[in-house]
Amino acid sequence: MTDSQNFSKTNYSYKPLTESTWDDFTLLFGERGASSGCWCMWWRTADKKEFENNKGNKNKETIRQLVLAGGVPGIIGYDKMKPIGWCSVAPREQFPGLDRTRRLQKIDDQPVWSIVCLFVDKTYRRSGVTELLLLSAIEHVKNNDGKIIEAYPADPKGETIAAFINAGFRSTYSRVGFQEVLRRGSRPIMRLQTN
């Protein structure tokens, strides 16, 4: 029996990634940084070459320094005490990589928080954890006085490039209240008002 078969949503909770939860983050991401040394730095890097040069331990150290400086780059989902999922959610200005992709450039001057990545432990996939992470991200943004959350999910009708799948699927965002506000090509930009 897998962990996900024993998983009960009543045992789910989340915590922001801080210095006190750093070890849980590294346990969840493993040696490879969840996705070939990314350590959830792809969208935090304005330059693709810089990202490529930093894959692996340099990316890990960069996000660690961000956390040690008091930054909160996202939230960790738990099954009881076990870290099982990650959602990268923060104010959009922390993700300069969004502007290097024409389709994801800013659509207005509203202050938004962005969800750019979701990662679920492979033994918990297809058990509802992604939706729980999104609901937790909404709560986290509300707790930090954010008013608008923006997301850039994959749409199975359009492109399914691996980096975009890491953002989750359009249907999951729709289920928790996000609405498509713009589409430049095959990829939607979705928003949710927190109030």
Alpha helices by DSSP H, listed for the chain, are: 3-6, 22-29, 48-54, 57-68, 129-143, 162-165, 170-175
Listed in sequence order, the residues at least 6 apart from 110 whose beta carbon sits closer than 8 Å to its beta carbon are 148
CA pair distance 77, 25, nearest whole angstrom: 10
Specify which residues 146 forms β-bridges with.
none
Confidence of residue 185 (pLDDT cuts 50, 70, 90): confident
**pLDDT tens-place string over residues 137-154:** 999 999 999 999 999 998
- Token representation of residue 107: 């659509």
Q: For all residues of the chain together, what is the average pLDDT?
A: 91
Q: What is the pTM of this model?
A: 0.92
Among the ranges 20-24, 125-129, 158-162, 187-191, which has the highest mean pLDDT value?
20-24
**pLDDT tens-place string over residues 57-102:** 999 999 999 999 999 999 999 999 999 999 999 999 999 999 988 8
